[in-house]
Amino acid sequence: MTEQRHSPGRLSRRQTLRVLGAGVLLPWVASSCSLLRSSTPDARLLASTAPLPKPFQVPLPIPDVLKPTSTSPTTDYYDLPVRVAEQEILPGLRTRIWGYAGQFPGPTLEARRGRRIVVRQRNELPVPVVTHLHGGRTPPESDGYPTDLLLPARGDFPSGMPDPRAKVVRGQRTYEFPLDQRAATLWYHDHRMDFTGPQVWRGLAGFFVVRDDEDDALPLPKGAKDVPLMICDRAFAADGSLSYPALDASLRSRPGVREAYAGGVLGDVILVNGAPWPEFEVARTRYRFRVLNASNARRYELALDPAPSESSAFVQVGTDGGLLERPATRETLTLAPAERLDVVVDFAAYPVGTTIVLRNRAGKDSAAQVMRFRVVRNERDDSAVPNRLSRIERLDPARAKVTRDLRFESGEVHGHTGWTINGKAFDPTRMDARPKLGSTEIWRLTSDIAHPVHLHLVHFQVLSIDGRKVRDLAWKDTHDLQAAQTVEVIARFDGYRGRYAFHCHNLEHEDMAMMGNFEVV
């Protein structure tokens, strides 16, 4: 499809909506007339036509930590433009990416609890962007609501929006993050309505680590042994470019993917911090890994091969919302899109010279492995995993005055396969829930197939799964609802009044309308 640059006045309303900004309201939303039940599509593999490189040939990159442009006693100020850049991802090929600061993954932002961060962003891409801090307790103006577009600085991308509440800005804007929240591994990524999947796929994602005194005081591995691992899958064309089954490769106006990919797009190249199946050299000590699944639709079940003979492979210390109360031993780690796990691995279990593959038991063929560790030296280890990590307040279901039912399921909209919540496609002008500020609510989530459900603003606790009580206490912002399941989560809606999104974090489901709104009142 060619780019549409006509003046809106010469187009019908339907065409106008198509060329405007988010491009959004069609075809998924404009009419709710016929939501027909259709067969439910699964995520599907998009095979690379580029030759796949041999695994474990490149070193694990660690994203740069972004330096503030200035600081004040209360605030760190950052510049984080988004732009097109070229990167060598597959050895010998150039890949054009869209990156924060021209990098994929974007640079890591390091934050401290209670210390404000202000990010100035200039959009040098040819399309609108919206930046969201995933897991952030952020005022609504800075939360990256999907229609709060930052339009390209160059060109004349149309600014009209069919959402009267949208705050659309051209060229440059700032986001303010108070970060009144516990230490946790957050991440930031694009959230442009209807185009989040392809824009994250092109590279718009990075780590955002919040630290605090409580976490710092623990003897967990630190510094170079506190390592972020962003895992995501991609597909590459023979010339090195990223492949994605978008209906409109320019991502200017027409949203959506080819019908066969409506269930989600899987790639056959597994990247860690942007490198294909990298290798990481380690000492025989403990490491803390902050593992993020930044894939559009792929789930992972990670295991060490060989597993240590006398201890557990992983000691989990945290989740999406920061530290657990006590460490938990795990042989495998399951991660749905957007979930994070904070784990310690002790390589003292292996002699120098050992190579250990991080396998993905949920993947086939090239997706069955992720990266490799190579134990290269002995080193003194002063770190430890204490028995007590933190305290977590257990939210009391008896205090919840409101229980809401939310059904996540496929639905057909205008002959397209899409995704709905309670039978409805995303509409920025519809409010699905109005929790009172400070109130506690139970949200009962049900599914057709699996959906990683994510709430903005709040972290929640899982109360029950198919009626079975969940005892483990953890703060989550994304929970992977399994097929045909009912899960109750409890949250306290405090922080800020205003409009926020909740949605499935399979990005193709999200783009194809599996999103709703709540307004904290």
Interacting residues toward ligand C2O by CB under 6 A: 132, 134, 189, 191, 338, 454, 456, 501, 503, 505
Burial (CB count within 10 angstroms: exposed 0-12, middle 13-18, buried 19+), residue 34: exposed
108 with 66: CB under 8 angstroms?
A: yes
Residue type at position 291? V
Determine the Cα–Cα distance for residues 460 and 113; give it in Å rounded to an integer: 19
Please give the size of the binding site for Cu ion, defined by CB under 5 A. 6
Across 147-285, the runs of DSSP E, i.e. the strands, are 150-151, 169-170, 172-177, 184-190, 205-211, 226-236, 242-243, 265-267, 269-272, 275-276, 279-283
Query: Of 456 and 499, which CB lies nearer to ligand C2O in the complex structure?
Result: 456
Which of Cu ion, ligand C2O, none interacts with 509 (beta carbon under 5 to 8 A by kind)? Cu ion
Which of ligand C2O, Cu ion, none interacts with 501 (beta carbon under 5 to 8 A by kind)? ligand C2O
Query: Of 132 and 298, which CB lies nearer to ligand C2O in the complex structure?
Result: 132
Work out how close the CB of 188 gets to ligand C2O at its nearest, in angstroms, rounded to a whole number: 9
Determine the Cα–Cα distance for residues 434 and 430; give it in Å rounded to an integer: 11
Work out how close the CB of 134 gets to ligand C2O at its nearest, in angstroms, rounded to a whole number: 3
For Cu ion, the binding residue among 509, 512, 515, 520 (CB under 5 A) is 509
Question: Which two three-digit tokens encode residue 349?
Answer: 């279990």
Query: Of 189 and 459, which CB lies nearer to ligand C2O in the complex structure?
Result: 189
- State yes or no: residue 134 binds Cu ion (CB under 5 A): yes
Determine the Cα–Cα distance for residues 455 and 136; give it in Å rounded to an integer: 11
- State yes or no: residue 410 binds Cu ion (CB under 5 A): no
Query: Of 288 and 509, which CB lies nearer to Cu ion in the complex structure?
Result: 509
Q: Which helix (H) or strand (E) holds 198?
A: helix 196-201
Give the residue closest to ligand C2O by C-beta.
134
Choices 65-73, 126-134, 234-242, 372-380 (CB under 5 A): range interacting with Cu ion? 126-134
Which of Cu ion, ligand C2O, none interacts with 115 (beta carbon under 5 to 8 A by kind)? none
Residues forming a β-bridge with 188: 133, 206
Work out how close the CB of 402 gets to Cu ion at its nearest, in angstroms, rounded to a whole number: 22
Query: Of 234 and 456, which CB lies nearer to Cu ion in the complex structure?
Result: 456
Query: Of 479 and 509, which CB lies nearer to Cu ion in the complex structure?
Result: 509
Query: Of 173 and 451, which CB lies nearer to Cu ion in the complex structure?
Result: 451
- State yes or no: residue 182 binds Cu ion (CB under 5 A): no
Are β-strands 44-46 and 265-267 bridged in parallel, bridged antiparallel, or unpaired? parallel
Residues forming a β-bridge with 134: 187
Site for Cu ion in 282-341 (CB under 5 A): none
Which of ligand C2O, Cu ion, none interacts with 506 (beta carbon under 5 to 8 A by kind)? Cu ion
Site for Cu ion in 422-461 (CB under 5 A): 451, 456
Query: Of 357 and 514, which CB lies nearer to ligand C2O in the complex structure?
Result: 514
User: Which of 1, 513, 509, 514 is CA-nearest to residue 265?
Assistant: 509
Work out how close the CB of 519 gets to Cu ion at its nearest, in angstroms, rounded to a whole number: 16
User: Which of 373, 350, 210 is CA-nearest to residue 290?
Assistant: 210
SS3 state of residue 425: coil
Work out how close the CB of 132 gets to ligand C2O at its nearest, in angstroms, rounded to a whole number: 5
Determine the Cα–Cα distance for residues 194 and 26; give it in Å rounded to an integer: 10
- State yes or no: residue 506 binds Cu ion (CB under 5 A): yes
Which of Cu ion, ligand C2O, none interacts with 503 (beta carbon under 5 to 8 A by kind)? ligand C2O
From the DSSP assignment, how many helices (H) and strands (E) are in the chain? 4, 37
CB half-sphere exposure, 374, CA atoms < 13 A: 11
Work out how close the CB of 295 gets to ligand C2O at its nearest, in angstroms, rounded to a whole number: 12
Work out how close the CB of 191 gets to Cu ion at its nearest, in angstroms, rounded to a whole number: 8
Output the DSSP codes for 263-313.
Answer: T-EEESEEEETTEES-EEEEESSEEEEEEEE--SS--EEEEEESPPSSS-S
User: Which of 393, 351, 372 is CA-nearest to residue 276?
Assistant: 372
Work out how close the CB of 144 gets to ligand C2O at its nearest, in angstroms, rounded to a whole number: 7
Query: Of 102 and 264, which CB lies nearer to Cu ion in the complex structure?
Result: 264
Site for Cu ion in 191-220 (CB under 5 A): none
SS3 state of residue 235: strand
Query: Of 137 and 456, which CB lies nearer to Cu ion in the complex structure?
Result: 456
Work out how close the CB of 272 gets to Cu ion at its nearest, in angstroms, rounded to a whole number: 22
SS3 state of residue 509: helix
Binding site for Cu ion (CB under 5 A): 134, 451, 456, 504, 506, 509
